Amino acid sequence: MKLKLTKIQLDAVAKYLGDISKLVFAAAVLGFFIPIGAQPIGLITFMVGIIVTATTFASSVYLTK
C-alpha cells in the first residue's frame, strides 16, 4: 500500500525524523565521548547510533526535497 501524503504532512514527517536524528546523536554519539552515567556507552552502541543518525537525517533531507 502506497501512502499519499500532502506537502504539510511530508514536512511534519521530515521534521520528526530530523528531531529523532538529533536525539540519537546526542544520546549515543555524544554519550560515547562524554560519559556522564555510571556505565559508559560501548563501541557497538556508538556505531549503531551513527548509522541510525545518518539514516534518519538522510530520510529527513530526502523528504524535504
Give mean pLDDT in consecutive 10-residue pieces for the chain, a chain of 65 residues: 81 91 86 74 87 92 84
Residue 63 near residue 10, CB atoms below 8 Å: yes
pLDDT of 4: 84
Backbone angles phi, psi at 30, to 5 degrees: -70, -35
Cell of 7: 506537502
Is residue 34 one of the residues assigned to a domain?
yes
pLDDT of 51: 93
Please give the residue range of the domain that contains residue 16. 7-49+57-64
Is residue 28 one of the residues assigned to a domain?
yes
Is residue 2 one of the residues assigned to a domain?
no
Is residue 37 one of the residues assigned to a domain?
yes
Q: Total domain count for the chain?
A: 1
pTM confidence score: 0.75
pLDDT of 54: 93
pLDDT of 21: 92
Residue 47 near residue 8, CB atoms below 8 Å: no
Cα–Cα distance, 37 to 58 (Å, whole number)? 30
